[in-house]
Amino acid sequence: MYKYIPLIAIAAGCVPAATSVVVTPDSKPATTFTERINQEEYQRLDFSDSLDYQDATRNFIAAPDSPVLLNARGEPASDLRQYDFITGEAPATVNPALWRHAKLTNIRGLFRITDGVYQVRGIDLTNITFVKTDSSWLVVDPLTNPNATRTALELVKKHVGDFPIAAIISTHSHVDHFGGISGLVSHEDIRSGKVKYIAPKGFFEEAVSENVFLGNAMGRRGAYQFATGLPASPIARVDNGLGKNYGGHYDPSVIWEPNLSIDHTGQTLNIDGVELVFQYTPDTEAPAELMFFYPAKRIFFVAELGSRTLHNVLPPRGVKVRDARAWAEYLNEALTLFGDRIEYVVPAHTWPFFGYERSLNFLEKQRDLYKYLHDQTLHLANLGLNPEEIAATIKLPDALDKEWFNQDFYGAVKHNVKAVYQYYIGWFDGHPANYNRLPPKEEAVRYVEWFGGEKAALEKAKASYEKGDYQWVVQALKWVVFANSNNQDAKNLQADAFEQLGFQSRSSIWRNMYITAAEELRNGNIIKRFPQQRKNYIYNLTTDDLFTYLSIALDGARAANHAFAIQFNVTDERQSYYVFLKNGTLHHRPASGNEPVQLAVTLPKNQLQTFVAHPDSVKTLTNAPDVNLAGDAGTLETFAALLTDFNLAWDIVTK
């Protein structure tokens, strides 16, 4: 375990002396430059404030019986002990503010918020909340995977009460708020309406869009954001800002269609004696999101519009850019609608706020946080500043900046203001030289030539590293590595600089990205070391979405010289679809039965799903007893050959 040692030279205002750089493929300790930057956190924030620790442990009931969560096969799905090293003072390799936050999010178990309302925290990235109704449970946000959800349910049954589940609420369309629902109830329970499954309007469509249509791109980038390929350790992953993610062999997450939608503010539901008032908040932290108030208990469930961290207006994994103005306005609306009655605020992540004054202080300052970033970004854009200049200029007022719950543990001011700019103006910064740039690989070759060659560029980068100018080192060496991905010395030095940036970062996801980049530069693509299991969502899609996914999987360049029309008859839905390829573009619509086609395929939906998930198994499909082909069977084989089987193992820091 690292031990923090105060630096006398820093206290005296001295600049640490740099040592000569030796480039190796190994992880490095924190440099004196990094230690100095981390030391400054102790002067910026009040580390003596213990109120967060009191709230995070308040009304603790019990921890899971075992720290090892099992999957359906009885194998370890995850081990909750992997973050148990996070104790004591911050090591030199972790920003002290992030270390404090990581200790708080590592507090796990079952907690009572108030009578009849219980929460399980720390076993997944998200919290799961259980509200006791007259004779059942209402469950809020069923976590990422069924193993964590099942563990939470068993904990509640054992220590509070074993009651049937009457309803489940997914507050928004991100996988950590719906993926584990199968650990609570069966799909048939939802389909039949036996269990109410409540979500905001547009939930299913947005969940599919994010996790399936762009799932491969977001999944790869998400491996950087969440450091899923790294171990939990003082030199790697310590937190994810919103909570902990646990690597392991989980049972698959699912996307199930809700049977009850919330589509307007003021909508009320009575769930077995529990009256809830909903606030519809689309296009904020998620495209489909809601918050709600439980008047009888004076609890406001803020979903992810409020967390004990600055959130992301645009996370690095990539999503639709979020509307910071709407985000702030919905928080303001919540204060107007419910503010005088709120005694507790329950975020979907981190831990609750207790008491009227502290709850309102949180909601007001989170509201002002997003509004300030929004308004001042537009203010500076109207003065002619580009995104990078705005990010370097904006500073929060002290009243916002000093609050622990407004820190950059997840989102960050610098990348959020760029997202606000993008939301209004787009990716172009206004400079004509940036409007039609060369592809990165071509730019890289030219840059390296201008640098005087790879060797000269590397020597300059070493000199910058010795000065602690790590951001410039990673930017400059990007071109050397892109020009020649076999230059291991350049990759190793860039990795060293990324690593120091990670050690300095208050934002967990900045740290995760930097240290993941360092690992891949030193040792190759992380994703190639792990089995890929991202096709399970396909088996939850509507038939219409299946054909939409096929149009995305189609390689348009190879398909440009092909044309065909196929009618798919989905027997268990009694629905037919006309699917045709023309000009490299795949289209589909309900079939009239009069369209000319080369082939008619009659099959149950599960066989169509298998074709979408595994187009290379087309010959097995055509021989299945429940599949019938009428016409040119080769048309289906041609179709399958034009589809791309996406995988996550594409490179980011090397080309």
Output the domain CATH number for residue 571.
Answer: 3.30.1050.10
Which of 423, 444, 463 delimits the end of a domain?
423
Query: What is the C-alpha separation between 45 and 51, in angstroms, rounded?
Result: 14
Residues 6+ apart with CB under 8 A from 559: 581, 584, 585, 586, 642
> What residues form DSSP beta bridges with 564?
581
Distance CA 478, CA 228 (A): 23
Q: Which pTM was predicted?
A: 0.93
Do 419 and 548 share a structural domain?
A: no
Domain annotation covers residue 445: no
How far apart CA 344 and CA 297 sit, in angstroms, is: 8
pLDDT of residue 566: 98
Q: List, in sequence order, every residue forming a beta bridge with 291; answer none if it has no partner.
A: 279
Q: Mapping DSSP to helix (H, G, I), strand (E, B) and coil, where does residue 650 land?
A: coil
pLDDT of residue 528: 74
Token pair in block for residue 440: 């990165």
What is the per-residue pLDDT for 4?
27
Here the CATH number for the domain that contains residue 167 is 3.60.15.30
Can you tell me the distance from the alpha carbon of 478 to that of 415, in angstroms, rounded to the nearest whole number?
20
Residue at 654 is within a domain: no
Helices (H), 41-95: 41-44, 51-57
Q: At residue 92, what are phi and psi to the nearest 5 degrees?
A: -65, -20
Token look-up 């890289």 returns: 444
Query: What gap in Å lies between CA 235 and CA 368, rounded to an integer?
Result: 34
Question: What is the DSSP secondary structure assignment for residue 81, as one 8-state letter?
Answer: G
* Count of domains forming the chain: 2
Q: For strand 68-70 and strand 344-347, is the pairing parallel, antiparallel, or unpaired?
A: unpaired
Name which of 500, 482, 630 is nearest 568 in CA terms. 630
Does the residue 493 lie in any domain?
A: no
Q: Of the candidates 423, 448, 465, which is a domain's last residue?
A: 423
Best CA proximity match to 377, nearest among 324, 315, 305, 430: 324
Residue 502 domain flag: no
What does the block give as tokens for 109? Answer: 């178990």
The dihedrals phi and psi of 524, each to the nearest 5 degrees, come to 95, 175
Residue 434 lies in a domain: no
Kindly state the helix (H) or strand (E) to which residue 68 belongs, with its residue range: strand 68-70
H helix and E strand count, the chain = 24, 21
Half-sphere exposure of 348 (CA within 13 A, CB side): 30
Do 545 and 397 fall into the same domain?
A: no
Which of residues 370, 398, 423 is at a domain's end?
A: 423
DSSP of 326-365 = HHHHHHHHHHHHHGGG-SEEEESSS--EESHHHHHHHHHH
Apex 648 CA angle, 644 and 649, nearest 5: 105
Asked whether residue 256 is domain-assigned, the answer is: yes
d(CA 467, CA 489): 19
Extract the tokens encoding 323. 């509307």
Please give the average pLDDT of every successive group of 10 residues along the chain, which has 655 residues: 26 32 80 98 96 98 95 91 97 98 98 98 97 98 96 98 98 96 98 98 93 89 93 96 89 94 98 98 97 98 98 95 98 98 98 98 98 98 98 98 98 98 96 96 96 96 98 98 97 98 98 97 85 71 95 97 98 97 98 95 96 92 95 96 92 93
Q: What is the DSSP string of 389-423?
A: HHHHH----HHHHT-GGGSSSSS-HHHHHHHHHHH
The answer to whether residue 532 is domain-embedded is: no
Rounded distance between C-alpha atoms, residue 150 and residue 311, angstroms: 28
Q: What pLDDT was estimated at residue 527?
A: 84
Q: Which of 102, 137, 288, 284 is nearest to 201 (CA)?
A: 288
Cβ count near 323 (within 10 Å):
21
Nearest residue to 493 via CA among 481, 502, 482: 481
Task: Yes or no: say if 395 and 401 are a contact pair by the CB < 8 Å rule.
Answer: yes
Q: What per-residue confidence (pLDDT) applies to 476?
A: 97
Q: Which domain holds residue 393?
A: 31-423
Report yes or no on 491 lying in a domain.
Answer: no
Helix H or strand E encompassing 198: strand 196-200
Q: What is the phi/psi pair of residue 192, to 5°?
A: -80, -15
Are residues 493 and 461 in contact, defined by beta-carbon separation less than 8 angstroms? yes
